[in-house]
Amino acid sequence: IFDGKTGTEKKFINTGENFLGMVCCDINHDGKEEIITGNADGKIRIFNSDLEEIFNYPYTTGIEVMGICDLVGDGKKEVIATTEDNKLLIFNYKLNKLAQLKLAKGILHQGFGAPFGAVKLVRYQKEKRLLVRQATNQKADFVLYRLSPLPLTKKTNNFILALAINLIILGSIIYYIWHWLSHYTENVAKKFYAKITQIGYIVINKKGKVTIANEHACNLLGLKNLTNSNLLEKLKQIGLNELYNKIISFQDFFNFPVTIKTGEQERFLSINFFELPRRNTYTLRIEDISKFAHLGRIEQWAPVAQKLAHSMKTPLMNIQLTTHQLELACAEADPTKAKKLLSVINEEVKRLRRLTDSFLRFTHFSPPDRKLEDVNAILKDLVNKYQLSLPKEMKINLTLDEKLPQVRLDRAEMEFALSAIIENALEAMSEKGTLMISSAWRETYEGNIKDWVEITIADTGKGIPEQYLNQIFEPYFTFDKPNGIGLGLSIAEQIVKRHYGTIKIQSKEGIGTCVSINLPIIE
């Protein structure tokens, strides 16, 4: 190899005997030129630009490189060479022999730089042909050789065809066996589920079509003839939209509690949803847990009811004593005293009313009536309501995200929850300070939900001591509120959880409190 500008020698290699024919090209498509040469020692070689041998093919006689061209039509170059025993060989870029043609006569060589080489790729009658100039002495004949198919290519095609036929036959057998097994297991499953009377089972496909449903499942859901019907449509008809939304997500597994009302009777169901080994087949396992839920409620509410009864004792005793004093005042004919005593009775009755209303709301278990609502509009209405009665040294700052999407929620319940938080904040500021309310659209993954609406309510009040923060959502827990009932935040937390949201409180004594509510954006 010589330098193209100065003509000085750069690299050399001494191998074999005499080089016969030479081609430079990027034979293996690596972006670098390779050198392909034949040799009188019977080897055809490929060198890289550093003259390092990459591949070689040994032959019994001298072999000469005639040229390269895309013979197969796959976008890759093939190497064409001839031998001293009148054979034409075709190689791929790794010098694997693709084909061999026996020539009747020797090839006429004209040396390097000849205007027309001894082998040329041409097109004749819409097919690629190899034009070879053959000669005896100085008389030349031009012969066209058919290239399609090459000998090796023809064998390969036959092998591929045979392999494809065998694969099709094998695939058909596997499909038949799989189809038969599917029907067999489905029939076995139907018989198995039909015998189960304590637990309901429903099997559906990806489109929601019911393939198996035992009688107990139909009775629990209050539906008839579920087999071959669309379960998703049935769920929407009976108002189980929450369960419908969970199923269409087709998670691998989830457990979902459902409350079904038939007349005055309320039934609690536990539904497990999981995917079967068969692809796109899912099972709903339905169990009636009404008895366990009832016992759980009794156990859960026993201390709450006990505290409620204790809380009601004080106003009832006050009413009793005041009524007795009212009788004495009436006997003494003292209207002013009687009026004051009646006012005390009225306030104590109102106190009892608030207590019982909060308790009833806290024990209300029916699912919320969710509709698409504008959270910003709800916050504006609440701010307008509270601003009418604000003291002079107290103000409300409202910051809203105007691009906030609508959220599916129960407006009445959410207004109650937000009102409880706002009233706590206003009371904590003691008629002086700033209440900051804001909304924002957050994108953060929690479970399978990406988009959330965040509502923040922050005050500049006295704050909550750190030791009480873990108790703040407990029923009947109050801090520094002599007349407080202690159910406001408990109810707010319950409402947010029923909307699949989260509520968090941060507080610093002497600085203020911040309540954050995150509600999922679910279609």
471 lies in the same domain as 439: yes
Residue 143 tokens, joined: 């012969």
Q: For residue 39, what pLDDT is reported?
A: 92
Tokens of 386: 């509270």
Q: What one-character-per-residue DSSP string does 207-249 give?
A: T-BEEEE-HHHHHHHT----TTSBHHHHHHHTT-HHHHHHHHT
- Cα separation, 129 vs 71, in Å, equals 9
What is the number of alpha carbons within 13 Å of residue 246 lying toward its C-beta?
20
pLDDT of residue 448 exceeding 80, the answer is no
Q: Are residues 448 and 403 in the same domain?
A: yes
Residue 509: both structure tokens together? 């004594």
| Residue carrying the six token digits 């084909």 | 99
Residue 468 phi/psi, 5° resolution? -100, -10
- pLDDT at position 269 is 85
Residues with Cβ within 8 Å of 490's Cβ and at least 6 positions away in sequence, in order, are 362, 473, 474, 475, 476, 477
Q: How confident is the model at residue 93 (pLDDT cuts 50, 70, 90)?
A: confident
The DSSP 8-state label assigned to residue 13 in this structure reads: -
- Asked whether residue 344 falls in the same domain as residue 395, the answer is no
pLDDT of 184-208, one tens digit each?
Answer: 666 666 666 666 667 888 888 888 8
Q: Is residue 469 part of a domain?
A: yes
What's the CATH number where 282 sits?
Answer: 3.30.450.20
Q: From 344, 362, 380, give the residue that closes a domain.
A: 362
pLDDT tens digits for range 240-288: 777 778 777 766 677 778 777 765 567 788 888 877 766 677 888 888 8
Residue with tokens 């968090």: 504
What's the half-sphere exposure (Cβ side, CA atoms, 13 Å) at 397? 9
Per residue in 404-437, pLDDT (tens digit) is 999 999 888 898 889 889 988 988 888 889 999 9
Question: Is 170 part of a structural domain of the chain?
Answer: no
513 shares its domain with 398: yes
User: Is residue 141 helix, strand or coil?
Assistant: strand
Q: Is residue 105 domain-shared with residue 227, that is, in the same domain?
A: no
Question: Lowest-confidence range among 90-104, 138-152, 456-470?
Answer: 138-152
Q: Give the domain CATH number at 334.
A: 1.10.287
Predicted structure pTM score: 0.39
CATH number of the structural domain spanning residue 433: 3.30.565.10
Domain span at residue 392?
371-520
341, 269: one domain? no
Across residues 339-356, what is the average pLDDT? Answer: 69
451 and 503 part of one domain: yes
What mean pLDDT value characterizes the chain? 78
**How many residues make up the chain in this entry?**
523
Q: How confident is the model at residue 154 (pLDDT cuts 50, 70, 90)?
A: very low
Confidence of residue 109 (pLDDT cuts 50, 70, 90): low
User: In terms of domains, do 284 and 297 share one?
Assistant: no
Number of domains in the chain: 4
The better pLDDT of the pair 301, 460 is held by 460
Are 267 and 274 in contact, with CB atoms under 8 Å apart?
Answer: no
Residue 212 within any structural domain of the chain: yes
- The answer to whether residue 14 is domain-embedded is no
Residue 6 falls inside a structural domain? no
Contacts 24+ apart (CB under 8 A), 13-22: 13/47, 13/51, 15/39, 15/45, 15/53, 16/40, 16/41, 16/43, 16/45, 17/41, 20/62, 20/63, 20/64, 20/65, 21/64, 21/65, 21/66, 21/81, 22/65, 22/112
Q: CA 110, CA 98: separation in Å to the nearest integer?
A: 26
List Cβ neighbours of 109 (8 Å cut-off, separation of 6 or more). Answer: 64, 118
CA 459 to CA 386: how far, in whole Å? 14
At 114, is the pLDDT very low, low, confident or very high (cuts 50, 70, 90)? very low
Q: Are residues 46 and 91 in the same domain?
A: yes
Q: Is residue 180 part of a domain?
A: no
| Domain final residue pick, 273, 288, 303 | 288
- Catalogue the long-range contacts made by 25-30 (C-beta closer than 8 Å, 24 or more residues apart): 25/68, 25/77, 27/68, 27/77, 27/79, 27/93, 28/93, 28/94, 29/76, 29/93
Q: Are residues 258 and 133 in the same domain?
A: no
Strands 200-205 and 210-213: what pairing? antiparallel
156 domain residue, yes or no = no
User: Quick one: 299 and 415 in the same domain?
Assistant: no
- Tell me how far apart the alpha carbons of residues 337 and 354 are, in angstroms, rounded to a whole number: 26
CATH of the domain at 78: 2.40.10.480
Q: Which two tokens stand for residue 259?
A: 């409350």
**pLDDT tens by residue, 336-346:** 777 777 777 77
In a shared domain, residues 39 and 126: yes
Examine the fold and report which residue of 148, 181, 215 is the final residue of a domain before the chain moves on: 148
- Which tokens is 415 given? 């207004």
pLDDT tens across 164-191, in order?
888 899 888 988 887 777 766 666 666 6
Rounded Cα gap, residues 28 and 17, in angstroms? 26
Amino acid at 155: K
Confidence of residue 209 (pLDDT cuts 50, 70, 90): confident
Dihedral (Cα; 4, 10, 16, 22), 10-degree rounding: -20
SS3 annotation, 450-514: EEEEEEEEEECCCCCCHHHHHHCCCCCCCCCCCCCCCCHHHHHHHHHHHCCCEEEEEEECCCEEE
CB 284 within 8 A of CB 271: yes
Is 175 part of any domain?
no
Q: Give the pLDDT confidence score for residue 293 in this predicted structure.
A: 66
